[in-house]
Structure 1
């Protein structure tokens, strides 16, 4: 039970193995960081595109709002003109009946 443990590898070999593993892990980590950076750049570009699209949509909505105000004003004028025409027609018809009626 108390037999001594013998190591068959030299310290140089052990350190070389550790160094290789560390280098391998470092390369994998660097590659993953590069991939992550590419993905972040893509996301940043997409966000920028979305902001530009949102600005364009906001501009279009403001333009539509202005046109709607113009249409509402025009429509209101047309309704009042129609009311005036109808009132004039009713008054004219009433006046004709009143003045041309023979009792």
Structure 2
């Protein structure tokens, strides 16, 4: 037994065209979304790079301030040590008196 199916070729082609149009719209939307995403990534990268540069500058400035603070602290500590040693030497008569 054979089954005969009659279908209009025009109707089939119309459905195929509609599906292809839908696919083309989806691909176009994906391309637009990808382009927008790339732009967002570039913008984020530029802002992040700017913030990293600012942070690097702040760290360098802080490092310089810490170096200056260390130098000052060492100078003060050295001066105090010299005063204490001088006082101890005078107290225990290690230094000649002017008599």
State the TM-score, normalizing by the size of structure 1: 0.78
1:6 is aligned to 5
SS of residue matched to 1:91: helix
Structure 1 stretches of 5 or more lacking a match? none
2:80 is aligned to 82
RMSD between superposed Cα atoms in Å: 1.9
What's the CA shift for 1:4? Answer: 4.9
Runs of 4+ in structure 1 deviating by more than 3 angstroms, as ranges, are: none
1:26 is aligned to 24
State the TM-score, normalizing by the size of structure 2: 0.81
Structure 2 stretches of 5 or more lacking a match? none
Q: Indicate the structure whose relative CO is greater, using CA pairs within 8 Å and at least 6 residues apart.
A: 2
| CA displacement 1:10-38 (0-9 Å, x = unmatched) | x2222222111101110112112212221
2:38 is aligned to 40
